[in-house]
Amino acid sequence: MKNLTLRNITKACQGTYHGDTSILDQEVDGVVIDSRKVQPNYLFVAIDGERVNAHKFIPDTIEKGALCVVSHEDLGDTDYPYILVESTGQALLDIAKLYRDSFDVKVIGITGSVGKTSTKEMIASVVAQKYNVHKTIGNFNNEWGLPITIFEMNESHQVAILEMGVNHFGEMRRLSSVASPDICVITNIGVAHLEFFKTREGILQEKSQMIQDMKDGGTIILNGDDDLLSRVGPIKGVAPIFFGLDEDNQFYADQIQPLGLRGTSCTIHLPDDTSFECIVPLPGKHMIFNALAGTAVGYTLGLTPEEIKAGIEGLPSIPGRNNIIKTDRMIILDDCYNANPISMKASIDVLDMAIGRKIAVLGDMGELGEKAGELHREVGEYAASHGIDLVCGIGDLSKELIDGALKTASSTEGLWFATKADFLNAIRDIIKDGDNILVKASHGMNFPEIVDALKNI
């Protein structure tokens, strides 16, 4: 791996090298934190989990051919080389920073409360029309995931799109100092992780820290329809570029025509007074915002309107993220990867576009703090106000969601299930031919199991 010699790695993470000094200038072929993924000539960084001491796997990694290991435990005299550091977690970030800086690549950093991954995928689809793109793997957007994504870069890549997710104060600077983005994109400021940030203003404060590590001459791209982001002024001497549905934004969309679950047609306007018509292939108003973010990034990187349009219309669907699945009996809106109040309501908006009976299978939303009950009730009320025919709530908090739906004057029915198993046992009595079914909950609820069950009915 370019520039990742044991000497440079030791210096980058301020460690102490122990072992054969004749291999100090040898480059490693890979960096991993999962001992099962070690291959010959790899570097294994022993990061302890909540329940497992990763250092106990070090002998196994050496047997598999690891060139060296990084440890925060003094291993004493060994017959293999290791680098002793204060924190292996910080060492992983330091090594990733060394590797990132070894490439002349444009880095796009993405953060926000909702839609980071779907925005990342849209931007990648657009930018790939002109450049060789590397992007965050899945949702590997935290202090372990970001370095792993960076280690997958190679010299053929021209643009790297790095998603950064945080849920505690101080985390963003640890990520953004590694990513050093050239373009900073913030999707919105919602209520996810209120348990830790307390207020939306706190969320804005933490998310916007990414911009502090932006490269000189960089670009800031913000959702101008977000009430907090719209008030952000110049940072580091750079005035933000805004996107949204309001025509006061530099990038905006109008002539919006929903096409049901087939997506949405719209006209996208650019700062140079040109525009183009396109079809955003996934349904929902939020997908138009993703398309606008992709447009703003593409325009910044010199793509033509034709290239931007092709990227938007060529967006692939992703399992668990607004993925439309058609079976012989029903249409499933698989949006079950994760959930918070804003994304729940956005998905209900999408379900509302369907033709036929509409069912929302919703689970608990995590990390909402003291307002968890109130926010669940609001989602239930929102579903009922939008005429969803049946709301199925699963989990302790979702009982509040069902209460909110049933207390709203409407024809919406509500069913509550204490566990996912309870729902699965009743699923064949609930679902009818021709149903349109939204499946959504926080990641820990493991709702892909419900999607699989629905596909097999």
- Contact between 242 and 222 (Cβ < 8 Å): yes
Contact criterion met (CB below 8 Å) for 335 and 321: yes
Percent of all residues in the chain with a pLDDT value above 70, rounded to a whole number: 99
Give the tokens for residue 127. 């930018």
Q: What is the pLDDT of the chain when averaged over all its residues? A: 94
Residues 437-452 have pLDDT tens digits of 999 999 899 999 999 9
Q: What is the mean pLDDT of residues 12-25?
A: 97
Q: What pLDDT shows up at residue 272?
A: 96
Strands 133-135 and 106-111: unpaired
Domains present along the chain, CATH in parentheses:
6-95 (3.40.1390.10), 103-313 (3.40.1190.10), 323-455 (3.90.190.20)
**Residues 289 and 296 sit within 8 Å (Cβ to Cβ):** no
Place of tokens 């934004």: 249
Residue 137: pLDDT over 90: no
Tell me the sheet residues that pair with 44: 32, 69
Q: Model confidence over 271-280: pLDDT tens digits?
A: 999 999 999 9
pLDDT category, 13, cuts 50, 70, 90?
Answer: very high
63 pLDDT above the threshold of 80: yes
The pLDDT score that the predictor gives to residue 188 is 94
* DSSP assignment string, 98-157: HHHTTS--EEEEEE-SS-HHHHHHHHHHHHTTTS-EEE--TT--STTHHHHHHHT--TT-
Pairing of strands 413-417, 183-186: unpaired
Query: pLDDT higher for 369 or 220?
Result: 220
pLDDT at 47 (0 to 100): 95
Q: How far apart are CA 217 and CA 237, in angstroms?
A: 9
Q: Judge whether residue 192 has pLDDT over 70.
A: no
Q: 242-292 pLDDT, tens per residue?
A: 999 999 999 999 999 988 888 899 999 999 999 999 999 988 888 999 999
pLDDT of res. 194? 67
Of the listed ranges 63-67, 226-230, 260-264, 324-328, the one predicted with least confidence = 260-264
| In the predicted structure, residue 12 carries a pLDDT above the cut 80 | yes
Backbone angles phi, psi at 186, to 5 degrees: -120, 120
The pLDDT of residue 193: 62
